[in-house]
Amino acid sequence: MTTFSDLELDPKVLKAISEAGYETPTPIQAGAIPPALQGKDVLGIAQTGTGKTASFTLPMITMLAKGRARARMPRSLVLCPTRELAAQVAENFDTYAKHVKLTKALLIGGVSFKEQDALIDKGVDVLIATPGRLLDHFERGKLLLTGVQIMVVDEADRMLDMGFIPDIERIFSLTPFTRQTLFFSATMAPEIERITNTFLSGPARIEVARQATTGENIEQGVVMFKGSRKDREGSEKRRLLRDLIEAEGERLTNAIIFCNRKTDVDIVAKSLKKYGLDAAPIHGDLDQSQRTRTLDGFREGSLKLLVASDVAARGLDVPSVSHVFNFDVPSHAEDYVHRIGRTGRAGRDGKAVMICVPRDEKNLADIERLVEKTIPRIEMPNAPAQAEPEAADEQPAEKPTRTRTRRRSPASEPKAEAPKTEAPKADAAKTDAPKADAPAAEMPNVEEAAPAQAERDDRGDQGESGRGRERRGRGGRPKSDRSEGVVGMGDHMPSFIALSFDERKAS
């Protein structure tokens, strides 16, 4: 079995390793450290959580132990995709170089330029930076890269995802051609392959695991979830997450919960806190001081649940994470490997649970195709019916369906609302065409009919003004009269027409 003492590291480095409690190197460390100490370029491919950081920090400290840095000209450069990963690499240097007199500087966003400039002006042996902040210092004339002897690119595939590849290519062009390059990645996309072919010279390729594999010590599972209604899916999904957390009981010591969007990170963290769970968010829009404080609390154990975007998915070394929950199925299959790699580190057992809604089933199929295995389906902790009351409380009640008109149909109107005088209208209409066999006594007198008709007209106008707020149909008539006999202009006979010629002359 290989030990660190077999790797020809500096005795002071070996002392620091022993004090840190490590004795046996991981496969990627055992494969990458010897060629790195020989000055060769190294291309390391290994799944996350296998100790890639020590694979380049240990040989770098050994090789930089001799020599001295000059002002504004760092001797080595480490590029990281995120602030958190850069800060973690800096901590590793502090751990392994505590018996070696080496200086370092950390160039990340969210920190004052003035403080960083002061460190660079003194001269640093190791410069750890994110690509954007490094180029900012260079363009301001505060930094020269012509003295870089060793250059490290960590989590190169994440650099590709975040759009840093043009910056990486520019930084390569600013460093000496004779530099030594250590290139590490969990996956090898075609674009990453192109960069390695361009900027690495005859690299020693160390691949300790198949690309994009997941640790065998991580128990995986996925819950297939479908909300009762589209507008309730979010609240019911958060209820399911709380049920999954509670179902783990004491086995869950701490956990990272991943969301695809920053807004969902805040919503989920707020929901968990509302129901009494110890949770805090971390994503790219938060202040650097708050991100650092939250991450420190999670590492120290004062924070149990860390709700994160993919900014925390790469390279964060918290050895004792017991669970990972994917609240959303990641859009890129490779991100699943890195997310669940936060648990089961350093040989420990871990558990990863994912929630999949119907629209994410295609992404789930891509993940299973990448890892070449079917993720076991697990049952929901509670039946869907038990989630209904909570969801109903969070969402407003369903509004009644609106009809095309607010007024009730004529058939549904109570008959008592119709004027009592409308029944004789049909009789009045019958006077125009009386039946031949009807008794003469039953036929109304014309003189009596006219005043009655006028009275009906007056009552009709009065009723129309009383009901005048009714919605009128086409033609200006109330909709309620459409199915009845309608008396329009010219359909009734004024009283003066019914008078005989002699009566008019006498008057």
The residue from 337, 365, 394 where one domain ends is: 394
CA–CA separation, 351 and 215 (whole Å)? 11
CA–CA separation, 355 and 268 (whole Å)? 14
Do 171 and 238 share a domain, yes or no? no
Do 108 and 251 share a domain, yes or no? no
Two tokens at 474? Answer: 């086409």
Do 225 and 246 share a domain, yes or no? yes
Q: Report pLDDT for 71.
A: 85
Report helix, strand or coil for 260.
Answer: coil
Do 202 and 222 share a domain, yes or no? no
Do 61 and 145 share a domain, yes or no? yes
Locus of tokens 């999670």: 298
| Contact (CB, 8 A) for 390 and 239 | yes
CATH of the domain at 142: 3.40.50.300
Do 11 and 141 share a domain, yes or no? yes
The reply to whether 344 falls in a domain is yes
The reply to whether 405 falls in a domain is no
Backbone angles phi, psi at 60, to 5 degrees: -65, -45
Q: Report pLDDT for 82.
A: 87
| Contact (CB, 8 A) for 278 and 304 | yes
CA distances from 298 to 82, 278, 280, 306 (A): 18, 10, 9, 7
Structural domain harbouring 431: 415-465+476-506
Element (H, E) at 181: strand 180-185
Number of separate domains in the chain: 3
Q: Report pLDDT for 288.
A: 78
CA–CA separation, 365 and 115 (whole Å)? 48
Q: Report pLDDT for 159.
A: 87
In terms of Cα–Cα distance, which of 19, 123, 5, 35 is closest to 72? 123
Q: Report pLDDT for 390.
A: 43
Two tokens at 278? Answer: 């110890």
| Contact (CB, 8 A) for 64 and 56 | no
In terms of Cα–Cα distance, which of 415, 404, 265, 313 is closest to 82? 313
| Contact (CB, 8 A) for 324 and 342 | yes
Do 105 and 177 share a domain, yes or no? yes
The residue from 187, 207, 227 where one domain ends is: 207
Do 389 and 270 share a domain, yes or no? yes
The reply to whether 179 falls in a domain is yes
In terms of Cα–Cα distance, which of 179, 189, 183, 111 is closest to 146? 179
The reply to whether 470 falls in a domain is no
Do 333 and 448 share a domain, yes or no? no
The reply to whether 406 falls in a domain is no
- Which parts of the chain sit beneath pLDDT 70? 1, 48-49, 209-213, 311-317, 346, 382-507
Report helix, strand or coil for 363.
Answer: helix
The residue from 394, 425, 452 where one domain ends is: 394
**What is the layout of strands, in order, in the sheet containing 126-129?**
104-107, 126-129, 76-79, 150-153, 180-185, 42-45, 204-207
The reported pTM is 0.62
In terms of Cα–Cα distance, which of 257, 248, 261, 312 is closest to 279? 257
The reply to whether 357 falls in a domain is yes
Q: Report pLDDT for 185.
A: 87
CA–CA separation, 179 and 125 (whole Å)? 15
CA–CA separation, 170 and 135 (whole Å)? 9
The widest CA-to-CA distance across the chain, in whole angstroms, is 143
CA–CA separation, 485 and 425 (whole Å)? 8
Q: Report pLDDT for 316.
A: 67
Do 71 and 120 share a domain, yes or no? yes
The reply to whether 332 falls in a domain is yes
Helices (H), 97-232: 113-122, 131-139, 156-161, 165-174, 190-199
CA–CA separation, 206 and 41 (whole Å)? 11
Two tokens at 283? Answer: 């994503």
Q: Which string of DSSP letters, residue by residue, matches 304-355?
A: -EEEE-GGGSSS---TT--EEEESS--SSHHHHHHHHTTSSGGG--EEEEEE
The reply to whether 228 falls in a domain is yes
Do 369 and 302 share a domain, yes or no? yes
Q: How many CB atoms lie within 10 A of CB 95?
A: 15
Do 58 and 22 share a domain, yes or no? yes
CA–CA separation, 102 and 53 (whole Å)? 18
In terms of Cα–Cα distance, which of 187, 233, 243 is closest to 367? 187
Q: Report pLDDT for 441.
A: 43
